């Protein structure tokens, strides 16, 4: 799966699930999601569930946090490392 | 792009100016901590050294700073345990010095072993097993601290440094989420100023490393001084609440009082948030750009929001080590179910780990119904809230959007609801007994218009605060460690705020003298570690009735617990009776009473030997009092009544009477009724010529305590007292099956009647026997102006109305700058030998003329 496909799927999920009605172009690769409070701990669990089911990957508990899930770029990097 | 004042790209002059500004503020904060006597003396001393350490640390090249901080942290352990000025002056013997170094050395040694085990070249599980074995052994030693007395001081701090931090450390070590090294580890575990604080924020290892000089130093340091300043503000607010809130449940008389009790109980947490701000602010001064530990927690707008804002480090710890792993382990059951179960697991472990922390501080586990109920209810509330949030997504926006008035109003109302619920929950958690909760509900009455207006006003204030600040805080309470989450920073505005604020607080005590006696006294009270009215009352109750657990806890937190055996003498002297008197002194006892040798004579008086039959030519006085008059903590010949007796005899130039005797019939914690009854049962048998009946501001508390005990025990009320007290009980709605606190609370409104009745009886019973009745008002050694003025007025008014002679000893302690100089000890506010001398010096000049000493006209009765 290409980086672009991963990014598209993740962005689509986040926009639909958490930011309905927002302009898709406003969500960039580097938009901070966790540290700005857009994603709280409960939302992170939803993201994790989505990533695991959509990409068929398994995440670890210590990967659930601002280091790996703060931006679309972080999430794409994490997914790619799992798919590699 | 603007350049920060400390940015290396900026002009060197601006960088130096920024550093000087920061150093000045740090210096002011150091002075402030000392000036207001915040926390403990040890911390004030350590902060002074930290100030010097900060300057040295900053001037060092970056690569040397972490080792310097680690070494400074290690040194702090020895700095606080050794009186270095005495050592330098050669006043501390070598053996004593070595003895004082042992606990610190043991703490460092044990800590280094624990860190070493984390890095042993053995499988990870084996390391955990070894650590568990060592931890178990240390826990056994902690539980039996008396086995190694030399180490008894280290357990609390060892627990504070290692119990939870080692879990975080191992977690990050296992997942290699942060760099590791000797200095990093030493700095992390022994970080200054942990040695001064048993309760310390649970800093995350990864964050500790990741935030080290991760921004321009000027911003990190300025944030540090700003947070220290904020911490000081919290601590002063805590003292204000502690001193002024109606926290004594036995004295609540209205809905407003009940609301004040509940809010005040919650606000006492300001002490923890203040300490944590102070601690994390200090860590900033050494480059650790850590996130906030608390974020506007009083304005939480839901239970999950509350959990996210209060003690954020603990929440992060529990999420990282338990919540996420539990969720991942359970996620096959479905996300919602996994989240719900993980939440329950999280709260169960939070409760258990709090108990484990309690064990290291107290030496025993905390398993109380209050604690279990608190965590169970909070878990339930957070769970329901989390499920709601998971199924009903909140509105999120990418850009900062304008929030409409309707949404803000809703947040305000949610803030109010959460605040009230947490107040109720906190009251349950802090309740010392079910009886206390019962007394609290008993105090609820039909609210007056004034009460309602104040309550509604208070609630509106919370709603408006929630509308203004509640919403923005909620959205940034997570992930606050990252730069992106930080608000714009204006260095010089922060400098101005801190400088002006600290300068004002430094000047406040001096300015308060112009605000009237009460303002001056309030500021003076806030500057000390004085107990509030409730805790002083508890101390008295504890002293007389058995020290209760809560009181022991409180004083241990304040490091002012009485040493073992301090109260043993009381048990030897005081014995119970089954009648209305309820207690008396055992005869012919020799013991150590609160640190001083004390004996009782064969008549059960803490006094010299006297013949029960008054010798001819003697003028005899009997003294009725409580523990102060008894001479708790002073030697037999140091009590103020013995000093006065000696002086009367020394200065008496007359042949008749040839001698004066003051027979001390005082018994600890005697109420007005007990003293009067003792006079009638014992005192009059001794054929006194005059009676010295001592009264004090805390008589109200003794009276309600005694009567509550008597009603509950169902003792027979003596004839003469029965009709009056039965009528009082009927009107107050009191019966023996009510809890003691409820009876005490219901008796409060009848105090004026009770006082007047005793005084009247005292006068008529004495006069019927030709005995001179004299009231002596004895001030309490504690400098509590409100208690003293209210209590004094309540007693002296009726005394004057009845026409009793009163000797007021109030001037005895006036003008004493530091009242602790007349306490027995930090943990015992009975007055010491100096206090007794002051009382005697004030009593004698007022008593002698009444007795005619120094004149030829000696009062009749000395037969």
Q: Do A35 and B397 touch (CB under 8 A)?
A: no
CA distance A28 to chain B (A): 10
Between residues B471 and B831, which one has the greater pLDDT? B831
- Judged against a pLDDT cut of 90, whether residue B846 lies above it is answered with yes
Chosen domain end from B139, B169, B198: B198
DSSP secondary structure letter of residue B212: B
Q: Do B171 and A62 touch (CB under 8 A)?
A: yes
Identify whether B154 is part of a domain.
yes
pLDDT score at B516: 80
Asked if the peptide bond before residue B193 counts as cis, ω within 30 degrees of 0, the response is: yes
Asked if the ipTM is above 0.85, the reply is yes
Q: Closest-CA residue in chain A for B210? A: A67
Q: How many CB atoms lie within 10 A of CB B365?
A: 12
Q: Is B400 on the interface with A (CB under 8 A)?
A: no
Q: What residues in A contact B324, CB-CB < 8 Å?
A: 61-62, 64
- The domain limits of chain A are 3-13+29-83
Query: Which domain CATH number covers B713?
Result: 3.40.50.1110
- Judged against a pLDDT cut of 70, whether residue B858 lies above it is answered with no
Q: Which of A36, A42, A46 sits opposite B484 (nearest CB)?
A: A36
Cα separation, B776 vs B796, whole angstroms: 10
Q: What residues in B contact A36, CB-CB < 8 Å?
A: 475-476, 479, 484-485
Chosen domain end from B183, B198, B213: B198
Q: What residues in A contact B477, CB-CB < 8 Å?
A: 37
Q: Do A41 and B482 touch (CB under 8 A)?
A: no
Cα separation, B309 vs B113, whole angstroms: 35
E strands, B685-822, where? 690-695, 772-777, 805-808
CA distance B428 to chain A (A): 28
Between residues B3 and B307, which one has the greater pLDDT? B307
Identify whether B625 is part of a domain.
yes
Identify whether B232 is part of a domain.
no
Q: Which of B328, B398, B478 sits opposite A61 (nearest CB)?
A: B328
Q: What residues in A contact B300, CB-CB < 8 Å?
A: none
pLDDT score at B818: 80
Among B804, B811, B699, which Cα is nearest to B755's? Answer: B699
pLDDT score at B13: 86
Domain, as residue range, for B728: 612-851
Q: What residues in A contact B482, CB-CB < 8 Å?
A: 32, 35, 66, 70
Q: Do A70 and B335 touch (CB under 8 A)?
A: no
- CA separation, residue B497 to residues A74, B207, B507 (Å): 38, 28, 15
pLDDT tens sequence across A7-62: 999 999 999 998 888 888 889 999 989 888 788 888 899 999 999 999 999 999 99
Mean pLDDT, range B480-508, rounded to an integer: 81
Q: How many CB atoms lie within 10 A of CB B700?
A: 25
CA distance A8 to chain B (A): 17
Contacts of B254 (CB under 8 A, 6+ apart): B443, B445, B447, B448, B451
Q: Do A46 and B171 touch (CB under 8 A)?
A: no
pLDDT tens sequence across B700-721: 999 999 999 999 999 999 999 9
Contact B203, B165 (CB under 8 A): yes
Identify whether B782 is part of a domain.
yes
User: Among positive and negative, which fits the CA dihedral B587, B591, B596, B597?
Assistant: positive
Q: Closest-CA residue in chain A for B323? A: A61
- CA separation, residue B491 to residues B43, B55, B218, B219, B495 (Å): 27, 19, 8, 7, 6
Identify whether B727 is part of a domain.
yes
Identify whether B860 is part of a domain.
no
pLDDT tens sequence across B398-456: 776 667 888 889 999 999 999 999 999 999 999 988 999 999 999 998 888 999 999 99
Q: DSSP for A47-83?
A: HHHHHHHHH-----GGGSSHHHHSSHHHHHHHHHHHH
pLDDT score at B361: 86
pLDDT score at B643: 96
CA distance A51 to chain B (A): 13
CA distance B325 to chain A (A): 5
Chosen domain end from B182, B198, B214: B198
pLDDT score at B168: 97
Identify whether B445 is part of a domain.
no
Contact B414, A39 (CB under 8 A): no
pLDDT tens sequence across B259-288: 999 999 999 999 999 999 999 999 999 999
Tell me if residue B585 falls in helix, strand or coil.
strand
Mean pLDDT, range B42-66, rounded to an integer: 94
At the fourth CATH level, which superfamily is domain A3-13+29-83? Answer: ACP-like (1.10.1200.10)
CA angle B766, B772, B773 (to 5 degrees): 65
Q: Which of B327, B328, B398 sits opposite A27 (nearest CB)?
A: B398
CA distance A2 to chain B (A): 26
Which of B97-101, B192-196, B687-691, B852-856 has the largest mean confidence? B687-691
pLDDT score at B178: 92
pLDDT score at B6: 66
Q: Do B386 and A61 touch (CB under 8 A)?
A: no
CA distance B117 to chain A (A): 23
Q: Is B387 on the interface with A (CB under 8 A)?
A: no
Q: Which of A42, A48, A52 sits opposite B390 (nearest CB)?
A: A42
Among B555, B310, B562, which Cα is nearest to B418's? Answer: B310
- Across the A:B interface, residue pairs with CB atoms under 8 Å apart total 86
Q: What residues in B contact A38, CB-CB < 8 Å?
A: 396, 398
Residues in chain A: 84
Q: Do B324 and A62 touch (CB under 8 A)?
A: yes
Q: Do B390 and A40 touch (CB under 8 A)?
A: no
Instruction: Work out how many domains chain B is built from and give that number.
Output: 2
Contact B327, B342 (CB under 8 A): yes
Mean pLDDT, range B530-543, rounded to an integer: 63
Phi, then psi, of B336 in degrees rounded to 5: -65, -45
Q: Is B471 on the interface with A (CB under 8 A)?
A: no
Identify whether B823 is part of a domain.
yes
Q: What residues in B contact A61, CB-CB < 8 Å?
A: 324-325, 327-328
Q: Do B478 and A38 touch (CB under 8 A)?
A: no
């Amino acid at each position: 799966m290409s980086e672009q496909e991963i990014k598209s799927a993740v962005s689509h999920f986040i926009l639909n699930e958490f930011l309905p009605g927002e302009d898709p172009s406003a969500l960039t690769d580097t938009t901070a999601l966790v540290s700005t409070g857009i994603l709280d701990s409960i939302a992170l669990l939803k993201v994790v569930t989505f990533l695991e089911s959509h990409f068929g990957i398994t995440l670890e508990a210590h990967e659930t946090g601002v280091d790996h899930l703060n931006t679309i770029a972080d999430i794409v990097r994490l997914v790619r490392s799992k798919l590699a | 792009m603007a350049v920060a004042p400390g940015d290396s790209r900026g002009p060197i002059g601006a960088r130096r100016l920024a550093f000087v500004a920061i150093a000045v503020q740090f210096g002011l904060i150091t002075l402030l901590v000392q000036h207001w006597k915040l926390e403990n003396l040890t911390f004030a001393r350590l902060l002074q050294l930290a100030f010097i350490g900060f300057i040295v640390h900053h001037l060092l090249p970056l690569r040397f700073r972490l080792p310097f901080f680690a070494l400074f942290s290690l040194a702090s352990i020895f700095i606080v345990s050794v009186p270095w000025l005495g050592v330098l002056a050669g006043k501390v013997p070598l053996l004593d010095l070595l003895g004082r170094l042992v606990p610190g050395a043991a703490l460092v040694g044990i800590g280094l072993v624990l860190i070493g085990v984390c890095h042993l070249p053995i499988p990870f599980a084996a390391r955990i097993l070894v650590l568990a074995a060592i931890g178990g052994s240390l826990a056994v030693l902690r539980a039996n601290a008396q086995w190694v007395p030399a180490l008894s001081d280290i357990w609390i701090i060892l627990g504070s440094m290692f119990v939870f931090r080692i879990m975080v450390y191992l977690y990050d070590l296992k997942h290699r989420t942060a760099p590791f090294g000797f200095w990093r580890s030493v700095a992390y575990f022994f970080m200054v100023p942990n040695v001064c604080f048993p309760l310390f924020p649970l800093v995350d290892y990864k964050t500790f490393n990741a935030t080290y000089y991760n921004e321009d130093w000027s911003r990190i340091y300025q944030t540090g001084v700003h947070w220290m300043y904020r911490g000081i503000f919290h601590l002063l607010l805590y003292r204000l609440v502690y001193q002024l809130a109606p926290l004594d449940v036995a004295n609540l008389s209205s809905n407003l009082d009940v609301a004040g009790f509940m809010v005040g109980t919650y606000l006492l947490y300001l002490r923890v948030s203040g300490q944590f701000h102070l601690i994390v602010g200090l860590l900033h001064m050494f480059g650790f750009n850590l996130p906030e530990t608390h974020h506007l927690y009083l304005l939480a707008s839901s239970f999950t929001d509350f959990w996210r804002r209060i003690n954020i480090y603990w929440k992060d710890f529990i999420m990282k080590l338990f919540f996420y792993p539990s969720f991942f382990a359970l996620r096959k059951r479905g996300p919602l179910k996994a989240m719900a179960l993980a939440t329950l697991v999280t709260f169960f472990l939070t409760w258990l780990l709090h108990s484990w922390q309690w064990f290291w501080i107290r030496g025993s586990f905390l398993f109380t119904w209050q604690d279990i109920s608190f965590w169970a209810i909070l878990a339930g509330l957070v769970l329901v809230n989390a499920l709601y949030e998971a199924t009903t997504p909140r509105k999120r926006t990418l850009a900062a959007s304008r929030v409409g008035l309707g949404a803000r109003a809703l947040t305000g109302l949610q803030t109010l609801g959460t605040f009230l619920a947490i107040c109720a929950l906190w009251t349950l958690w802090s309740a010392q007994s079910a009886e206390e909760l019962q007394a609290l509900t008993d105090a609820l009455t039909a609210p007056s218009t004034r009460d309602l207006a104040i309550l509604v006003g208070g609630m509106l204030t919370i709603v408006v605060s929630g509308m203004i600040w509640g919403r923005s805080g909620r959205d940034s309470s997570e992930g606050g460690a990252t730069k992106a989450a930080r608000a714009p920073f204006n260095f010089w505005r922060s400098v101005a705020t801190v400088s002006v604020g600290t300068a004002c607080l430094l000047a406040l005590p001096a300015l308060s003298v112009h605000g009237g006696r009460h303002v001056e006294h309030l500021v003076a009270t806030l500057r000390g570690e004085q107990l509030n009215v409730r805790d002083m009352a508890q101390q008295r109750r504890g002293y007389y009735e058995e020290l209760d657990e809560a009181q022991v806890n409180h004083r241990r937190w304040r490091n002012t617990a009485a040493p073992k055996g301090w109260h043993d003498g009381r048990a030897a002297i005081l014995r119970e009776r089954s009648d209305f008197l309820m207690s008396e002194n055992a005869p012919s006892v020799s013991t150590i009473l609160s640190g001083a040798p004390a004996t009782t004579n064969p008549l059960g008086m803490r006094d010299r030997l006297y013949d029960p039959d008054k010798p001819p030519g003697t003028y005899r006085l009997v003294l009725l009092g409580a523990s102060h008059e008894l001479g708790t903590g002073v030697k037999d010949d140091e009590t103020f009544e013995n000093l006065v007796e000696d002086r009367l005899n020394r200065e008496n130039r007359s042949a008749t009477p040839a001698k004066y005797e003051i027979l001390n019939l005082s018994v600890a914690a005697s109420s007005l009724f007990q003293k009067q009854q003792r006079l009638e049962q014992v005192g009059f048998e001794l054929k006194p010529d005059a009676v010295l009946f001592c009264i004090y501001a805390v008589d109200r508390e003794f009276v309600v305590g005694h009567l509550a005990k008597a009603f509950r025990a169902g003792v027979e009320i003596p004839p003469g007292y029965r009709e009056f007290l039965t009528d009082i009980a009927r009107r107050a709605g009191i019966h023996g099956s009510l809890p003691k606190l409820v009876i005490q609370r219901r008796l409060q409104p009848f105090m004026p009647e009770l006082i007047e009745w005793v005084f009247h009886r005292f006068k008529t019973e004495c006069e019927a026997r030709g005995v001179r009745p004299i009231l002596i008002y004895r001030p309490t050694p504690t400098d509590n102006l409100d208690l003293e003025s209210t209590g004094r007025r309540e007693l002296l008014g009726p005394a004057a109305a009845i026409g009793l002679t009163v000797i007021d000893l109030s001037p005895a302690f006036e003008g004493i700058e530091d009242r602790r100089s007349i306490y027995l000890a930090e943990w015992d506010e009975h007055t010491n030998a100096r206090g007794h001398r002051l009382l005697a010096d004030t009593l004698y000049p007022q008593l002698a003329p009444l007795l005619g000493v120094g004149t030829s006209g000696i009062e009749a009765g000395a037969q």
